[in-house]
């Protein structure tokens, strides 16, 4: 049985940990509000741009070709996975869930005889996947210095993907990230970036038989819009991931704070019982000694 000194020291240690987790929870809550606002603010632009791409694509008609970012390379042998996680831990299963989604995708592609390449965004994804798939890594995006904006990182990654695709390094690029639902729910999802595909629920305009003449042509417009659409998708995923990370961190730290409180109560009860037993023992010894006299 632990001594009173050991129990007292452990209670003090758990109380110190509880202060840290409580502070971390409050910081995550403040950051979550800003991250959620940024993610929500980006959605109207991303949605409208997706609608424009969907309308231009439908206007071109079936089999009309189009820019390479839209038409693809004509093959799907080489797949590039862009895996987005957080730079830090202490956020429950947030990073592990994204890594698990990536592992499933990698194994499915390998089983189908595809070649897989990986670009990681965030330190935790690189660490988790590096043990098993380090030989598949071709690049890493470090977000440790990102503070106020992810835009430069999103543009840089979008341009890199476009350049690598033009160079023929891969046929299909897929983004794996955590979609922010609410404070308690962050769902790992996959989103095909290249060849670019508009969302199934993108709003298209019913022309009612009318024919629109575009100047410049639909293909020229798409040549300009698709790189921007690619950057927007990457930025939106980064913002969703950031909001999800803070939500997961806040929830994890809240659970840790409550667990620490329960542990303190349990240790305090154990300490009081041990102290009571020690006092009782001392009283018995004093009484026994007095009776012996």
User: 30-62, pLDDT tens digit by residue?
Assistant: 888 888 888 888 888 888 877 777 777 765 555
Q: Is the pLDDT of residue 175 over 80?
A: yes
| Confidence (pTM) | 0.80
- Per-residue burial over 90-109, b = 16 or more CB atoms within 10 Å of its CB, e = otherwise: bbbebbebbbebbeebbeeb
Give me the residue spans of the domains in the chain: 22-204+213-252
Quick one: pLDDT at residue 228?
86
Q: CB neighbours (10 Å) of residue 46? A: 17
Q: Name the CATH superfamily for 22-204+213-252.
A: ATP synthase, F1 complex, gamma subunit (3.40.1380.10)
Mean pLDDT across 97-124:
90
Each residue of 253-271: pLDDT tens digit? 988 999 999 999 998 998 8
Task: List the catalytic residues.
Answer: 91
Q: Is the dihedral of CA 88, 89, 91, 92 positive or negative?
A: positive
Question: What residues are paired with 178 via a beta bridge?
Answer: 188
């Amino acid at each position: 049985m632990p001594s009173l000194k050991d129990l007292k020291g452990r209670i003090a240690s758990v109380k110190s940990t509880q202060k840290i987790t409580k502070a971390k929870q409050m910081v995550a809550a403040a950051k979550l509000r800003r991250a959620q606002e940024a993610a929500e603010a980006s959605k109207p632009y991303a949605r409208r741009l997706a609608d424009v791409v969907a309308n231009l694509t439908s206007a071109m008609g079936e089999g009309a070709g189009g820019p390479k970012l839209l038409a693809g390379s004509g093959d799907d042998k080489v797949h590039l996975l862009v895996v987005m996680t957080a730079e830090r831990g202490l956020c429950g299963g947030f990073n592990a869930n994204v890594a698990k989604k990536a592992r499933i995708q990698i194994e499915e592609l390998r089983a189908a005889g595809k070649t897989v390449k990986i670009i990681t965004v965030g330190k935790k994804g690189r660490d988790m996947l590096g043990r098993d798939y380090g030989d598949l890594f071709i690049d890493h995006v470090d977000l440790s210095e990102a503070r106020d904006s992810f835009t430069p990182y999103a543009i840089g990654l979008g341009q890199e993907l476009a350049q690598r695709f033009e160079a023929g390094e891969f046929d299909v690029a897929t983004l794996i990230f955590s979609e922010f639902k609410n404070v308690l729910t962050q769902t790992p999802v996959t989103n095909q970036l290249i060849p670019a595909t508009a969302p199934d629920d993108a709003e298209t305009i019913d022309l009612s038989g009318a024919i629109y003449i575009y100047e410049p042509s639909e293909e020229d417009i798409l040549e300009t819009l698709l790189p921007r659409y690619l950057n927007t998708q990457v930025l939106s995923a980064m913002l969703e991931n950031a909001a999800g990370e803070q939500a997961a961190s806040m929830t994890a730290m809240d659970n840790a704070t409550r667990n620490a409180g329960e542990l303190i109560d349990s240790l305090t009860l154990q300490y009081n019982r041990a102290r009571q037993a020690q006092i009782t023992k001392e009283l018995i010894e004093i009484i026994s000694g007095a009776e012996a006299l």
